[in-house]
Chains A and B, each alone.
Chain A
Amino acid sequence: MTLAEAVKYVAAAYAIILIVLVAYSMFSARRISALQRELQVLEEAVDKSAKRLGGE
């Protein structure tokens, strides 16, 4: 195998590792922000109902 061919295989292997790890990081970050948004909505709902109960 020539050096140029070997370089292609090595680059492909490291590219796959990079792509998978970056995809995982993006997926994980999206999941965290979605959960945080959901938590915020619930906290606001709890605050509203607490205020309503306090007013009655």
Chain B
Amino acid sequence: MILKRLLTAPALFAAAGALLAAGLLLAFLYAPTDSSSMGFSQKIFYYHAPIAECALLAFAIAFVAAILYLRSDDPRYDVLGMVAIRLGLLFSLLVMATGMIWGRAAWGVWWTWEPRLTTFFVVCLLYTAYFVLRQTVEEESRRATFAALFAIVAFISVPFTFFATRLMPSGLHPVVIGPGGGGMPGSDLLAFFVSMIGMTLLLLAMIRQELAVEHLKEELHHLKNRIGA
């Protein structure tokens, strides 16, 4: 059963890898170079934006898992929430790093306190605190309940980040998908959507793999307890 789960992750990884490679080729060979002040540095967008969307998707998965845990008390949802937030933070780290590089190239600064960056930074801090909270509670079911409640409250910050560019337009972060298709030509959108699907599959593959690892750890823990190792 565990091996079966591990075997499905590579299939997802392979599909994600193929789509991400195709997205990269489309971004560099098919999509035209941006004619605005961003120029060639706009090519960072084709992975940067999908990674950001996936980070927020991971936090959304953790939010749903938290609700399911509180309704069912099933520890599997606690593990799913923890894994999703862990990967959400990994993706957030990548967004911040690539965003800073892009910011330096396009705006001339590594960091600016504009709405999207600020709200994303707050999201990262909140979800880092999630793991601090988990460390402070010893008892398993209480830890899972507190973590679920925290994941629900923390998720309030996610829509603010997603809609930050629409609610408080600063001119720095453009609206990618909006009424009328946003500000991108079709060739840009194709590269973006292929990368987006690839990145989403990568996130799902990573979640599956992490869940399998956590399950394996739990099995080992029970086995050790049974034989007194």
Residue numbers of A with Cβ under 8 A of B are 1, 3, 5-7, 9-10, 12-14, 16-17, 20-21, 24, 28, 31-32, 35-36, 38-39, 42, 45-46, 49
Contact = CB atoms under 8 A, between A and B. Distances in A.
A21 B48 CA distance: 14
B63 interface: no
Given A13-B97, A32-B216, 9 more contacts: A6-B40, A10-B40, A10-B41, A14-B44, A14-B47, A17-B47, A21-B202, A39-B219, A49-B227
Nearest to B105: A9
B51 A17 contact: yes
Contact of B98 (A7, A17, A38, A42): A17
B221 to A, nearest CB: 10
Contacts of A16: 94, 97-98, 101
A38 B193 CA distance: 42
Place the interface of chain B in its size category: 20 to 34
B169 to A, nearest CB: 24
B39 A1 contact: yes
B104 A35 contact: no
B76 interface: no
Contacts of A42: 220, 223-224, 227, 229
A5 to B, nearest CB: 8
Nearest to A32: B213
Closest 5 CB pairs of A and B: A9-B105, A6-B40, A13-B98, A13-B44, A6-B41
Contact of A9 (B101, B223, B227): B101
B101 to A, nearest CB: 5
B39 A10 contact: no
Nearest to B108: A1
